[in-house]
Amino acid sequence: MDTLSRLERTIAERRRADPSQSYVATLHAKGLPQIARKLGEEGVEAAIATLSGSEAELTGEAADILFHLLVALDARDIPFAEVLAELDRREGTSGLEEKAGRTQ
Ligand SMILES: N=c1c2ncn([C@@H]3O[C@H](COP(=O)(O)OP(=O)(O)OP(=O)(O)O)[C@@H](O)[C@H]3O)c2ncn1[C@@H]1O[C@H](COP(=O)(O)O)[C@@H](O)[C@H]1O
């Protein structure tokens, strides 16, 4: 099992844990708005690190954003496999075609 799949499984397990013992459970106890807020914050922090952070800082922010994205997907009951399937669907199609399809 790969790293993201293992993390996805851990996050699903920790969802119902004691919030005093689990960061994932703490996020769930605070609700979907907090889960969405953390994902947004991590996105901004990753963007800032892209512009002005060290390689280590951007690597850390990238890990944070993947973690918080998996928490958000789990909270909405969307398997990560569905995201991968969507990427597979786009494979071989130019990003410009994809963009044009979305604006039609
Ligand atoms: N990969 C992660 C992971 N990455 C980042 N984080 C947490 O995400 C938060 C990042 O938010 P910030 O940088 O804003 O830090 P913060 O101010 O402490 O966060 P907030 O209090 O504002 O939420 C930090 O608290 C990190 O500890 C993670 N917490 C957990 N995991 C994984 O999830 C598993 C389950 O964790 P628990 O639910 O705690 O058992 C762990 O074993 C890890 O594998």
The model carries a pTM of 0.91
* Centroid of ligand 1 to alpha carbon of 23 (angstroms): 6
Q: Is 74 in the pocket of ligand 1 (CB under 6 A)?
A: no
* Centroid of ligand 1 to alpha carbon of 27 (angstroms): 9
Over residues 7-48, the pLDDT tens digits come to 999 999 999 999 999 999 999 999 999 999 999 999 999 999
Residue 86, domain member (yes or no): no
Residue 30, domain member (yes or no): yes
Q: Is 80 in the pocket of ligand 1 (CB under 6 A)?
A: no
Over residues 40-88, the pLDDT tens digits come to 999 999 999 999 999 999 999 999 999 999 999 999 999 999 999 999 9
The residue segments making up the domain with residue 21 are: 3-79
Q: How far apart are CA 88 and CA 26, in angstroms?
A: 33
Q: Is 93 in the pocket of ligand 1 (CB under 6 A)?
A: no
Q: How far apart are CA 19 and CA 66, in angstroms?
A: 21
Indicate the number of domains in the chain. Answer: 1
